[in-house]
Amino acid sequence: MTIGIDQLDFYVPQFYVDMAKLAEARNVEPNKFLLGIGQTEMSVSPVSQDIVSMGANAAKNIVSEEDKKNISMVIVATESAIDSAKASAVQIHNLLGIQPFARCFEMKEACYAATPAIQLAKDYLANRPNEKVLVIASDTARYGLHSGGEPTQGAGAVAMLISHNPRILELNDDAVAYTQDVYDFWRPSGLSYPLVAGALSKDAYIQSFQESWNEYAKRYNKSLSDFASLCFHVPFTKMGKKALDSILTEDIDSETHNRLTSGYDAATYYNRYVGNIYTGSLYLSLISLLETHDLKGGQTIGLFSYGSGSVGEFFSGKLVDGYSEVLNVEHHKALLNSRTELSVEEYEHFFNRFDNLEFDHETELTSDQHGIFYLNDINDHIRNYNTLK
Ligand code: COA
């Protein structure tokens, strides 16, 4: 019996800011953002793209009419919830037209929650061979204008269809999670932006990775040579690289060292142009790896998921023969390449409009985005969504 990722897709808002220009506007040496943080462009959220519309947009092309009859659970992982009670999974379930006899709910643990969602889906499907689970990771990563975290923002969603006999990645039975109560990044209820202990958050991430990886290697008798590539949670591309470098010690053979290093570059290519998408970052990295790197069916990919607070998890999957035929590389390249660049001033307007929920459909909804779901208005605290004609 094999269960895993049968289909996966992502959606990012169609606006971005250039990190070198943002650095100049903030009187920062551009190479700090480009090399020190490792980000080239950053997605910017229009008010019309919240976690519901982005999540539905990420999922709409991978859910067939047949799937809509078989999906019995929709899980949304997010740390940008728009409601403390109603789950965004319910709205996404409705927008996609999934059959009504389904469980729909939201999961939270900072950037980690999509990983337990996938593991839950895997266990749930074990004795339900004909059902499928839709897992969506959707977030707007926001720290505030002029804040320390400003260069590590972004927005986007990843959708994954979990099923038996998956066509992309079989999930192995080998996960190790590591929990530690630490205040490295948190967002008390009512605050618009998170509180961050920047240096601590980097150290906590690396420590969590080392603990998870060492325990995983010991329990399952694995070494780095068993992996074709590793994917990390990518709040910014330098972060996962620091974690990877921390275990590429002198005793690691040069072939393994070079393989994992070049794999890391491929696995962070899309992230470098999107920025942080919190819960979806690890899975955007997986898509980036699969779509920009030369891999083969049967090879093992290691994945490290991290959510501040904190929970880390190392797990693995086996690539399925013919996986590349299921990917939608051209669509993803077009999605990233068709985005509109915003000046820093325009980005600041977008940012403030998003915080104040001030709609500007004329500026934000461009004709080349036809077919996407978007947030049309909010009336009596009820969010109404449309499809762009
Ligand atoms: N050229 C090249 N690199 C430069 C540079 C330059 N001109 N100027 C600075 N840098 C490097 C620094 O040496 C540092 O590299 P290092 O981490 O390898 O030492 C890097 O750029 C970042 O500099 P730093 O001083 O740490 O930046 P910062 O104090 O502005 O904070 C974050 C960076 C990531 C901590 C901050 O953006 C943040 O809090 N982000 C949100 C939290 C987060 O994402 N945490 C990650 C774990 S979840």
pLDDT tens column, 144-202: 999 999 999 999 999 999 999 999 999 999 999 999 999 999 999 999 999 999 999 99
In this structure, are 239 and 119 located in the same domain? no
Contact between 237 and 312 under an 8 Å Cβ cutoff? The reply is no
Q: Which of the listed residues 323, 342, 360 is the one where a domain comes to its end?
A: 323
For 134-253, where are the alpha helices, taking DSSP H only?
198-220, 237-247
Q: Does residue 33 sit in the same domain as residue 181? A: no
Q: What pLDDT is attached to residue 1?
A: 86
How far, in Å, from the CA of 49 to the mean position of ligand 1? 28
198 CB within 6 A, ligand 1: yes
Q: Is the pLDDT of residue 275 over 90?
A: yes
| pLDDT single digits (tens) 104-155 | 999 999 999 999 999 999 999 999 999 999 999 999 999 999 999 999 999 9
Query: Does residue 366 surpass a pLDDT of 90?
Result: no
Q: 315: part of which helix (H) or strand (E)? A: strand 311-319
Q: What is the 3-state secondary structure (H, E, C) of 15-56?
A: EEEEHHHHHHHCCCCHHHHHHHHCCCEEECCCCCCCHHHHHH
CA dist., res. 237 & res. 199, Å (int): 16
Amino acid present at 195? L
pLDDT in tens, 72-103: 999 999 999 999 999 999 999 999 999 999 99
- For residues 306 and 348, membership in a common domain is answered with no
Q: Do 360 and 379 belong to one domain?
A: yes
Looking at the fold, whether 33 and 47 belong to one and the same domain comes out as: yes
**Strand 169-171 and strand 3-11: pairing?**
antiparallel
Do 335 and 302 share a domain, yes or no? no
Q: Is the minimum distance from the CB of 288 to ligand 1 under 6 angstroms?
A: no
Are 383 and 351 found together in one domain? Answer: yes
Exposure string (b/e) for 317-331, b if CB count within 10 Å is 16 or more? Answer: bbbbeebbebbbeee
Please give the model's pTM, rounded to 2 decimal places: 0.98
Lowest mean pLDDT among 269-283, 337-351, 355-369: 355-369
Which residue range is the domain that position 268 belongs to? 171-323
Neighbour count for residue 269 (Cβ, 10 Å): 21
Choice from 29, 112, 152, 239 to test ligand 1 binding pocket (greatest atom count within 8 A of CB)? 152
CATH number at residue 241: 3.40.47.10
Residue 369 pLDDT greater than 90, yes or no: no
Together in a domain, 359 and 302 = no
- DSSP line for 43-112: E---TT--HHHHHHHHHTTT--HHHHHHEEEEEEE-SS-S-SSS-HHHHHHHHHT--SS-EEEEE-BTBT
Q: Is the CB of 196 under 6 A from ligand 1?
A: yes
Same domain, 24 and 157: yes
**Number of domains observed in the structure of the chain:** 2
Nearest CA to ligand 1 atom 44: 235
Q: Of 323, 352, 374, which residue is a domain's last?
A: 323
| 8 Å CB contact between 295 and 275 | no
Q: Are residues 75 and 51 in the same domain?
A: yes
Give 191's contacts (C-beta < 8 A, 6+ positions apart). Answer: none
Which residue among 280, 297, 323 closes a domain? 323
Q: 258 with 355, same domain?
A: no
Q: Domain check: are 177 and 158 in the same one?
A: no
> Quick one: pLDDT at residue 367?
79
Ligand 1 centroid–CA 251 distance in Å is: 28
